[in-house]
Homo-oligomer: A and B are copies of this chain.
C-alpha cells in the first residue's frame, strides 16, 4: 500500500480512538481547544476502553475494503461492550447523524456524542439497538459468530465480518459456533469473515487463546475448518500494512471460493479465511498509571485513568493521551472530520452504520401463507378423531418452505429433532443444510437446504436471531425442557426487541418463533431430565410488549396459532404443542375463532346452560390438561349430571393477566364473565401451577382458583401415570370439583370414592402391566350427536 493510503487509514483510526476516549471521559471541551480542566470530565467514568482501539482498527480497515470493492458488508461486533468505538465510527461516517440529527458532525455534535455516552438519559455503554449498524448487543458474550452466520444465510451478496474477542472465544456457545461453516452454502449464502481479536486479556486475566503456543492455535483454527491469516504487532503503521494485506487476501479468497462454487457447483466444503489480529489491549492508551502497567494488560479493560477529576496527574495524563492522537490534524475548525480522515469511508448504504442489513425490517417481506383449509383436519364432532398436531403444522411449514424456494427467506432450525418432532414434511420442500461429505445412506442432506439441524440449541437460537434481525423468517422447534439452554440468549433478544420498538428508525423485524414440543407430559423414552415446562415462566418475566405464549390444545388450533406467529413482527412467540396423537376438538373455523379470542368457553363440553353462573368452572391450558379436563367433564356429566359445569380453554396464556400488565390481558369484566366472580375454578395447566396464580392474582375470583399442573413429579413412565403423579388426572380433577362445590348431593361422596378407587386401580394396573388402564387408553369424548 502507498504510504499516503496508510496515513489516511491511520488518521481515521486515530480519530476513532480520540472519539472513543472522549466518550468515556469528556463532558466539555471536546476538541481540547483549551487545557483540560476537572469540570470537563464526567462525574462518573464508565465504559470499556480496552477493546476499543482494536474495534476501531477493524472498522477502519473494513471501511477501506468496502469502499474499494463496493462490498455489501455487515459487521458483528462481538466485543460490543466497546460501544465507544462503534459509536465513534458511526459518527465519523455520518450514519450516526443520519439517525440522530441532533448529534451533528461538528464540535457541538461531538460534545453531544461524548456527553450522552453512558450518561443517564443518554445511550448505553455497549453496542445496543440504539447503535446504528448493529444486530448484536455486546453485553452477553458468546453469540457473535452464530449471529454472523445467521445474517449470512440466504444473503449470497453479503460479507459478514465478525469480531470475536478472545474473552468471548472462551465461552461454550462461541466455541461451538466455529462449526457453523459446515452449514454455509457458498452458492446461496453470503460469507462470514471471523476476525479473532487476541488482545490478550479479559476483565482480570489473560485469555486462553492468546496464550496458546502458535502451532496449537493454528491447529485449532484449521481444525475448525478455517485458513488463518495472522496480523500482529503494536506499531500502528506496520499493523495497518499487515491488516490491509490480510483483509485483501481474505476477501480475494472469499470471492474466489464463491466464484468457483457458483460457476461449477460446490462439491467440497471450503476452508474459509479467518483473520487473527493480535494487538495490545488498550493499545495507544496510558502505558502505566501510578507506576503500574496498564496498556497491554487487563487493567485497561474499562477506564484506565480512574481519578481524573480528583488527581491532577491523571488529568494531565488524560490530556496527553487525547493529544497523542493529534486531534488538530483530524478535525477541522468546525469540529468535523477532515477529508483525510474520511478517505476510507464508503458512501450511503455501504457504510457499516447505514446498511439496511442491520435494520432488517426494512428489507423484510411478509411470508406467503397458504390458506389453512388445505392442512386443517376435518372435525365433525369434537374428539372423534385424533392427529399429531405438530405433524399437521408440519404440512403448513412445508408449504411455506416450498413457497419461499426462490425468495429463500424462511428457515426452520432445531437441535436434530425436526423429524422426531413430526415436522418431516419439510423435507418434501427442502433439505437439511449440510456441507460435509455424504454417504449413500444419508437422507435429506443438501448443500442448499433450509432446515438446519445441529445438536446445539445455542447455534439454533443464534442463527435464527441473526436471520430474523436481518429481515428473514423462521421457526425454532425444540424439546420443551432443553429450550432452557438458551434462556439467557432469549433474554437478550427480548431486550433487543423491546428497545428496538422504541426507536422510530428501526423497522419491525420478523418475530422469533418457538415451537416447543416433546413436552413435559410425554417423555416416555427419556424421563425426568426431559421434563421441564418452565420456559413459559421465564419469558413471561420479560417485556409484555414482546412476549407471547400460546398453548394450542389440538391440531387446528396449532395451525391457526402457527399462521398467526409466522405473520407477526417484533415478538418472541412461544408455542407449546405436543407431537403425540391428540384428539381433534375444534374445526378450523372454531379453532380460528377460539384462537382469536385466546380463551373461551367450550359450550359443547360443559353442562352449563348459560342462563346463570355454573356450579364450577373447569379450565385448561395445554393439550394434555385439556384432554384430562374433558375426561373429567365427561365423568361429571355421567356421574353428577345435575352439576352445571363450564369448560374454559385458554390458548393465549397472557389473556389471564391484567390488561395493564400485558396488552393481551383481558379486562376484569371479561375475566369475571368467563371464570365467574365466586364459583370454584379448577384449572388444569400444562406447566408449573403457580404461574396461573401469578398471572391471575389480581382477579376478583382468585381465591376460588385451584390450579393443577406439573410439580416436578417426573420419571420414565406412561402418559397417564405422569398426570396421576402430578395430580392432574381426570379422577383427581373430579375429586377437586367435589371438594370445592358446596352443597353437593350425598351421592357425590360415592362418586369421590369411585375416583379414589380408579386411581388405586391405575396404580395396581401399571405396576403389573407397565401400560395405562384400558379405560384410559381407550377413552374418547362421549359423542354428543345423540344429545
Contacts and interface: CB of A to CB of B under 8 A. Distances in A.
Interface string A425-456: 00000001010111101100100000001111
Contacts of A124: 527-529, 715-716
A293 interface: yes
Interface string A691-731: 10110010000100000000010111110010000000000
Contacts of A219: 219-220, 222-223
A48 interface: yes
Nearest to A479: B140
A43, A697, A771: most-surrounded residue (chain B CB, <10 A): A697
B120 A721 contact: yes
A38 interface: no
Nearest to A529: B139
Interface in A203-224: 203-208, 211-212, 216-224
Contacts of A752: none
Contacts of A230: none
A204 B416 contact: yes
B770 A126 contact: no
Contact of A217 (B205, B223, B487, B491): B223
Contact of A436 (B81, B206, B526): B206
Given A220-B219, A484-B488, A537-B537, A202 B532 contact: no
A156 interface: no
A167 B488 contact: no
Given A212-B436, A538-B534, A697-B693, A43 B769 contact: yes
Contact of A120 (B488, B532, B718): B718
Contacts of A573: none
A20 interface: no
A527 B770 contact: no
B488 A485 contact: yes
Interface stretch (A69-77, A171-179, A365-373, A599-607): A171-179
A553 interface: no
Contacts of A139: 526-530
Contacts of A459: 172
Nearest to A417: B203
B121 A766 contact: yes
Contacts of A771: 43-44
A436 B211 CA distance: 6
Nearest to A772: B120
Nearest to A121: B767
B436 A168 contact: no
Contact of A204 (B419, B534, B543): B419
B436 A170 contact: no
- Nearest 9 A-B pairs (CB), nearest first? A139-B529, A220-B223, A172-B176, A172-B172, A484-B488, A219-B223, A175-B175, A172-B173, A211-B436
9 contacts: A43-B769, A43-B771, A139-B530, A141-B455, A170-B455, A172-B172, A205-B453, A216-B223, A485-B488
